[in-house]
Structure 1
């Protein structure tokens, strides 16, 4: 069976126009229908290996160009940026936007980087750390956080491990011991005071902190097994990213290694079947696969196998200030993933004060788009009683139009029920009556009256 391909619609459209071909003419030369070519160019179908070889043969096409990012993340990402109030007086239609990407991809990419940096705080430079994280996130989103080859390899390994034992942690530990001469040792907090795990190659030990819960312990041994047995696949992905920065390479390597570990704990086929049978019941999935809420949330953003796609979730992990330390848009194309801050009215923040619960919110943006979000608090204690505790909320989101089968949305009229009116952060939100507003929107001058005072803390032109 041919492996899943990659999405490269704008690049194929530019190639066709460089060759002065119509869609019908190019499709005929490739041996496919013009409607199928239109889907490829619209990024609704991937390029298969067979088509890539045909492109290379017929048009002297450099297949390495497929590894390049779509300028600005593609037309959907550019539209999100251009929806900012700063551009509210400028009308740019879809055809004009696609022409910009096709004819001036460098300019589109430059605009996107400058806008993203401004949105993160308006600084001339976000520092090397921010640049590294942005570069890695861009590469992850280029793949829509779905790495087909890793999924296939992890699924095969998971099946092999299951044949020996139903206890995944025990099976992985035994494989590390017998095949790779690595023993597992659980160490007390005093010995590993500031580490979750440590690989001691001299002693041939994988040392784990006693502070790890069972799901985290399984993930750690799966992570280290991935680093050994999927080394070639992981190295290929890192090399293909071509970061040119050692820190970015290591951070990306960590992500794809963790991806393999999660795929080993939650093999694609079995996990997707469980999702569909349960209505994506996150608590059931946690119990069935021995995973945490955060691990399941990660996995739900990656279900994009061609011919066996799951629902297009996005994921966020935020602190109490609304800062995101993790965010994956997956295939959701949700604007809620972007930006430096979150709307304080959004119900995901309430999860901080309701530990142990999954907080379900039906939210509506200014454009009337509705999103269902599931949020749960996670806490991490650094050590003994009295030591600092890190607090986060992990949130999953799905377009309300696709959430009808969700177990967590049962009883909700997703189209007509009252929804929380939220924005994309005060800088981008034009809701004039929001009493939670911290600042006026960008590009809208404030209006201040000496004679009256509204409930909302700021008034601005256009409200």
Structure 2
């Protein structure tokens, strides 16, 4: 039986943003005023036909009515409220849920303010630790990479304007896996007068360099056809799609030039990935292969991370794939990429949970590991993880390694080949994880690196436990 969808707060927000009364909206939808009131007060769920009417009336994506963004916001709000440096007294989970339901914009503003407060605390502590005098340049605004990451997450990591353009171009050029680079070089030459050449760059790590005055594009020598094509497609996006890219950036209201620059690069990369892996063709292949990543690698002649990243973007209205989260972690636990079309909650500060299988991937190079995990609110996820490497190619040439984690909420797991033969409901197979030690409410975790912020510690020396920390009787918040 399908879940009932209540859209009260989201419907009210869209209606008020459009300056419409409830009566006016009822007239446009062809329903009674009382029906609109019941919808906005979550007294009735929305039906599928009415949901489609709402999408037409508000000219929005159906994702505007998704519960996933509210669930993510609630998890973030709960994490913030665990920090006694931000909230003095415990707030009941039901109160937080009502806040997200009735005033989501205020809830999001509160989370943003708390995150800025935390960044200032961390920066101040670092300054004190280093004994370097007065704090300088401390800014309450988000760091550029955080702001851009949050922009993509708000869009469920799907940018439809660029995706559809890339798909149309891929079809027009009849791009074939393994033979893309030559076709894209010709497009750059014919359309833009740009000559492309392979180069052994003197500067370390350069992959692409464009000289606009000389109309010359240099691509690092030794790249595979797919890697060359990605760089060529990125440059093509910056030449042909810049107006659309800058339109997306302007609509996002990004704070400063650094954020806008990172977003411009990220959106150009998005177009390049969508050109190499056109939406409709890739979604059909992914479903047919039951999301077998290595099979998709062979089919489209691209790398493991490229396939995982593209799988996390398949959220086009009317043609959605499995909603995935994606994370990229280094050996020290630093998260360099995190995005989600699910309710999976990543900590905004600090490392990931050490019980998460993505860390185990480094001990099993090239192997795909699977895990069923449960977050503190009871939501369960099924995920895979595998290590990858980049660089190298010569003696003493620097090489970097990461682990990639890809996962979905448990109800979607059976759509993935990796869940075959597993008892997903077996309690012994479910690993209790959290968003990170600083905000995780689990009192019984023996792997905890440090206590959650603001929790009162038990410091009695009369007893000792396997876990490093014990804290008071107050339990964390559960949804």
TM over 0.5: same fold?
yes
Any conservation in 1 of the 2:9–2:102 contact (CA below 8 Å)?
no
SS at match of 2:404: strand
Q: Specify which of 309, 332, 335 is matched with residue 321 of structure 1.
A: 332
Residues 1:391 and 2:401 are matched in the alignment = yes
Q: Specify which of 409, 418, 421 is matched with residue 408 of structure 1.
A: 418
TM-score for the superposition, normalised by structure 2:
0.80
Any conservation in 2 of the 1:12–1:41 contact (CA below 8 Å)?
no
The aligned residue for residue 184 of structure 2 is: 172
The aligned residue for residue 30 of structure 1 is: 28
Alignment size in residue pairs: 432
The aligned residue for residue 366 of structure 2 is: 356
Q: Tell me, in whole angstroms, the C-alpha distance in 1 between the residues paired with 2:470 and 2:177.
A: 64
Q: Tell me, in whole angstroms, the C-alpha distance in 1 between the residues paired with 2:156 and 2:349.
A: 18
The aligned residue for residue 4 of structure 1 is: none
The aligned residue for residue 90 of structure 2 is: 89
Offset, 1:214: 3.5
The aligned residue for residue 70 of structure 2 is: 75
Offset, 1:162: 0.8
Where structure 2 has 5 or more consecutive residues not aligned to the other structure, the ranges are 1-6, 125-137
Deviations along 1:349-372, one digit per CA (max 9) or x if unpaired, are 011222222222222223332211
Per the alignment, do residues 76 and 288 of structure 1 end up closer, same or farther by CA in structure 2, a change over 3 Å counting? Answer: same
Q: Tell me, in whole angstroms, the C-alpha distance in 2 between the residues paired with 1:298 and 1:46.
A: 29
Where structure 1 has 5 or more consecutive residues not aligned to the other structure, the ranges are 1-7, 54-62
The aligned residue for residue 426 of structure 1 is: 437
Any conservation in 1 of the 2:312–2:324 contact (CA below 8 Å)?
yes
The aligned residue for residue 273 of structure 1 is: 284
Offset, 1:382: 6.7
Cα RMSD, aligned residues only: 3.5
Offset, 1:91: 1.4
The aligned residue for residue 156 of structure 1 is: 168
Q: Tell me, in whole angstroms, the C-alpha distance in 2 between the residues paired with 1:339 and 1:391.
A: 22
Per the alignment, do residues 321 and 414 of structure 1 end up closer, same or farther by CA in structure 2, a change over 3 Å counting? Answer: same
Higher relative contact order (CA closer than 8 Å, sequence separation 6+): 2
Q: Tell me, in whole angstroms, the C-alpha distance in 1 between the residues paired with 2:222 and 2:120.
A: 36
The aligned residue for residue 308 of structure 1 is: 319
The aligned residue for residue 333 of structure 1 is: 343
Per the alignment, do residues 381 and 45 of structure 1 end up closer, same or farther by CA in structure 2, a change over 3 Å counting? Answer: farther
Q: Tell me, in whole angstroms, the C-alpha distance in 1 between the residues paired with 2:20 and 2:141.
A: 43
Superposed counterparts of 1:28-427, under 5 Å: 28-31=26-29, 50-52=56-58, 75-84=70-79, 85-86=82-83, 89-93=90-94, 94-101=97-104, 105=105, 107-118=106-117, 122-123=121-122, 127=139, 130-162=142-174, 167-188=179-200, 191-330=202-341, 332-336=342-346, 338-381=348-391, 384-416=394-426, 418-427=429-438
Any conservation in 1 of the 2:381–2:408 contact (CA below 8 Å)?
yes
Q: Tell me, in whole angstroms, the C-alpha distance in 2 between the residues paired with 1:109 and 1:313.
A: 22
Q: Tell me, in whole angstroms, the C-alpha distance in 2 between the residues paired with 1:193 and 1:428.
A: 38
Q: Tell me, in whole angstroms, the C-alpha distance in 2 between the residues paired with 1:117 and 1:248.
A: 16
Per the alignment, do residues 407 and 26 of structure 1 end up closer, same or farther by CA in structure 2, a change over 3 Å counting? Answer: farther
Q: Tell me, in whole angstroms, the C-alpha distance in 2 between the residues paired with 1:199 and 1:402.
A: 43
Q: Tell me, in whole angstroms, the C-alpha distance in 2 between the residues paired with 1:161 and 1:395.
A: 33
Deviations along 1:195-227, one digit per CA (max 9) or x if unpaired, are 111112344322111253443222111111122
Comparing 156-165 and 251-260, the one that deviates more: 156-165
Q: Tell me, in whole angstroms, the C-alpha distance in 2 between the residues paired with 1:320 and 1:268.
A: 32
Offset, 1:156: 0.8
Per the alignment, do residues 200 and 284 of structure 1 end up closer, same or farther by CA in structure 2, a change over 3 Å counting? Answer: same
Q: Tell me, in whole angstroms, the C-alpha distance in 2 between the residues paired with 1:372 and 1:401.
A: 9
TM-score for the superposition, normalised by structure 1:
0.82
Per the alignment, do residues 382 and 241 of structure 1 end up closer, same or farther by CA in structure 2, a change over 3 Å counting? Answer: farther
Comparing 231-240 and 296-305, the one that deviates more: 231-240
SS at match of 1:170: helix
Offset, 1:74: 5.7
SS at match of 2:103: helix
Any conservation in 2 of the 1:193–1:383 contact (CA below 8 Å)?
no
Offset, 1:296: 1.4
Offset, 1:124: 6.3
Any conservation in 2 of the 1:376–1:395 contact (CA below 8 Å)?
yes
Deviations along 1:323-374, one digit per CA (max 9) or x if unpaired, are 22111112x1211465432011111001122222222222222333221122
The aligned residue for residue 58 of structure 1 is: none
Comparing 111-120 and 315-324, the one that deviates more: 111-120
Q: Tell me, in whole angstroms, the C-alpha distance in 2 between the residues paired with 1:40 and 1:256.
A: 34
Offset, 1:273: 0.3
